[in-house]
Amino acid sequence: MTKSETYIKPDPSTKVLAFEDIDLSLTYSYAHYLNWLFDDRIELIKGKVFKVYGPARIHQQVSIHISSIIYNFLLGKPCKIYTAPFDVRFYKASKADKDIYTVLQPDICVICDGTKLDDKGCIGAPDIVVEILSPGNNKMELLYKYGIYEEFGVKEYWVVSPGDKTLLKYTLDVKGKYQPSKLFTLSEKVYSEVLPGFELDLDAVFED
């Protein structure tokens, strides 16, 4: 850990009752996160706090369509699908709560390794993550989360734009770097290397 990455650690046992009581200049771990008792949804990215705002109606509609299609495909198979709010903890050397500094809530994730699942959610990288863009969150999804998902080895990262009715799929290569697909849109089907035999009809995804 470099000097610039040194974490400032507030007391993790302190109960926080309101989002406004968090000092956003400080760096927090999952141990702190577990003691935040307010209703606001938040995510941690390398110890920094980001508030998650309520999604638009079309965001939720697209999420339901995609998750329903994946859920039906996975019936009877070992992989599981989860939708937000669902904590995914990304760890490096240690799985201890105090040593985890990135906790995200992907819109949709598919997890094929059951050992990564516990009562708190998922610890480690899902196999597939789907993020659905909403006004104001594009920078978060395309920049910050892209880097996290690539760094920790999420095999496929799908970025869905309800406004443009498009889907861009990033696939992890053998060097651990994302390779982008073409931009898929209406009348096309998207396939997954993680889920052989699966197809996602974008006409069904964006049907209103």
Q: Are 127 and 154 in contact (CB under 8 A)?
A: yes
Return the residue matching tokens 């892209």: 146
Give, for all 208 residues of the chain, the pLDDT tens digit.
Answer: 444 444 556 776 778 889 999 999 999 999 999 999 888 999 999 999 998 888 889 999 999 999 999 999 999 999 999 999 999 999 999 999 999 999 999 999 999 999 999 999 999 999 999 999 987 676 767 788 999 999 999 999 999 999 999 999 999 999 999 999 999 999 999 999 999 999 999 999 999 8
Asked if 36 and 23 count as a contact pair (C-beta separation under 8 A), the reply is no
Q: Where are the domains of the chain?
A: 3-52, 57-205
CATH number of 57-205: 3.90.1570.10
Question: How many helices (H) does the chain have, and how many strands (E)?
Answer: 5, 14
pTM here? 0.91
